Amino acid sequence: MAEALESKAAKPAPMDRLWADDADDRTSDDPALVVDVAGFEGPLDLLLHLARSQKVDLSRISIVALVEQYLEFVSRARALRLELAADYLVMAAWLAFLKSKLLIPKQPGEEGESGEELAAVLQFRLKRLEAMRDAAARLVNRNRLGRDVFARGAPEMVIIDKRNEYSASLYDLLSAYAGQRQRQAITNVQIAKRGVWSLKQAREILTRLIGQFNDWTSLDHFLIRYTTSPEQRSTVIASSFAASLEMVREGHVEIRQHEPFAPIYLRDRQHAARQTEGTS
C-alpha cells in the first residue's frame, strides 16, 4: 500500500519542481484534495500538510486543532468508503490518544509521558520532516552535474600499463626442485614394485599383438617390448604364457616349442587359416 502511494505521488511531481509549492497547490479547503490520500507520503506528510494550512509557525501550532483535522480527514475517508492504509489508521488512533491526554490533565501517579511531551514529539517530527522537504528542494535546485555544470566532454584516455612483478627466493626455487624430484623418484620406485602382470592384462596384450604377425613368432619377441627390467621379466613371461595356453584352448592361437627351454613360438590361427586359403 505504501509503495502504491509512493509511486502515485511520484507521477504528478516532477523531480525539479519544488514541493514547497505543493502546499499552495493543495489547499485544504479543496474538498477533493482532502481525501486524496494518494497525494500524500503517508500520515506524517498529511499531518504536515494540515499543519501548514493553519498558517502558523510549526512551533506555535495548535496540536489539538491539528489532531481534530486529521481525525476528521480519516472519518471522511471512511464515509466515502475509501480504503486507508494501515499506518493512517494507526496514526489516527495515536492522535486520538494524544488528544485525550491533552484534554485531561495528568493524574498524579500516572505513568508514561504527559500529553505535552507527546505533543512535543509530534511537533519535532513535523518540523524535522519539513526541514528535510526544504533541504531536498534546495538540493535539487543546486547547479547539477549534467544539467547546469558539465564535466570534460572528451576525456582523454589514460593508458594503463599493467605489469606484474614476480618474486621468489633461491630457497623457494631449490626446494621446489628438490621436492618434486624426490617425490617423482619415490613414485617411480613404487610403480616398479607394483609391476605385476595380471592374466587379464597379458591376454589383452597378446590378443592385440598376435594380429600383427603373419608367421610363427617367439613369445620372447612379443614381450621384449614390455619387459623393461629384469624384475618384470618373470611376471610378464609367466602371465603371458598362461594366457597363451588359454587362447590355444579356445582355438585362437597355435603354439609350439621344439625342445625344453627352447623359445616358444606363437601364431594367430585365424590368420594362418586365411593365408592357406589364399595360397590354395
Partner 1 sequence: MSEGSNVVPFSVEDEDGETVKVNPAARLLLAEAARMAEAIVFASADPVSERQLAQRLPEGVDVPAAMAELQRLYERRGVNLVRVGDAWAFRTAGDLAFLMSRDTVQQKKLSRAALEVLSVIAYHQPVTRAEIEDIRGVETSKGTLDTLMETEWVRMRGRRKSPGRPVTYGTTDKFLDHFGLEEIRDLPGIEELKGAGLLSSRMPPGFSVPVPPSDPDLLAEDEDPLTDIDLEELGLLTPKATDD
Residues 99-128 binding partner 1 (CB under 8 A) are 117, 120-121, 124-125, 127-128
- In sequence order, the β-bridge partners of residue 265 are 218, 256
Work out whether 147 is an interface residue with partner 1 (CB under 8 A): yes
> What are the distances in angstroms from CA 149 to CA 18, 37, 152, 153, 192?
20, 37, 10, 11, 79
Q: Indicate the burial class of 44 (C-beta count within 10 angstroms; 0-12, 13-18, 19 or more).
A: middle
Work out whether 184 is an interface residue with partner 1 (CB under 8 A): yes
Pick out residues in 225-254 that bind partner 1 (CB under 8 A): none
Helix (H), strand (E) at residue 172: helix 170-193
The interface region with partner 1, picked from 36-44, 68-76, 103-111, 261-269 by CB under 8 A, is 36-44
The interface region with partner 1, picked from 29-37, 97-105, 165-173, 266-274 by CB under 8 A, is 165-173
Work out whether 24 is an interface residue with partner 1 (CB under 8 A): no
Work out whether 43 is an interface residue with partner 1 (CB under 8 A): yes
Contact in structure between 38 and 26 (CB atoms under 8 Å): no
Among 182, 212, 214, 228, contact with partner 1 (rule: CB under 8 A):
182
Cell of 248: 590355444
Q: Which of 208, 216, 197 is nearest to 262 (CA)?
A: 216
Work out whether 193 is an interface residue with partner 1 (CB under 8 A): no
Count the residues of the shown chain that bind partner 1, applying the rule CB under 8 A: 84
Under 8 Å CB-to-CB from 270, ≥6 apart: which residues? 252
Task: Provide the residue count of the chain.
Answer: 280
Q: Which of 45, 64, 92, 96 is nearest to 84 (CA)?
A: 92
Work out whether 179 is an interface residue with partner 1 (CB under 8 A): yes
| Shortest reach from residue 234's CB to partner 1, in Å | 21
Nearer residue to partner 1 within complex by CB, 80 or 139: 139
- Taking the C-alpha atoms of residue 250 and residue 94, their distance in angstroms, rounded to an integer, is 101
| Shortest reach from residue 272's CB to partner 1, in Å | 35
- Taking the C-alpha atoms of residue 278 and residue 268, their distance in angstroms, rounded to an integer, is 15
Nearer residue to partner 1 within complex by CB, 172 or 215: 172
Work out whether 71 is an interface residue with partner 1 (CB under 8 A): no
Cell of 153: 566532454
Nearer residue to partner 1 within complex by CB, 229 or 279: 229
| Shortest reach from residue 226's CB to partner 1, in Å | 19
| Shortest reach from residue 62's CB to partner 1, in Å | 18
| Shortest reach from residue 30's CB to partner 1, in Å | 19
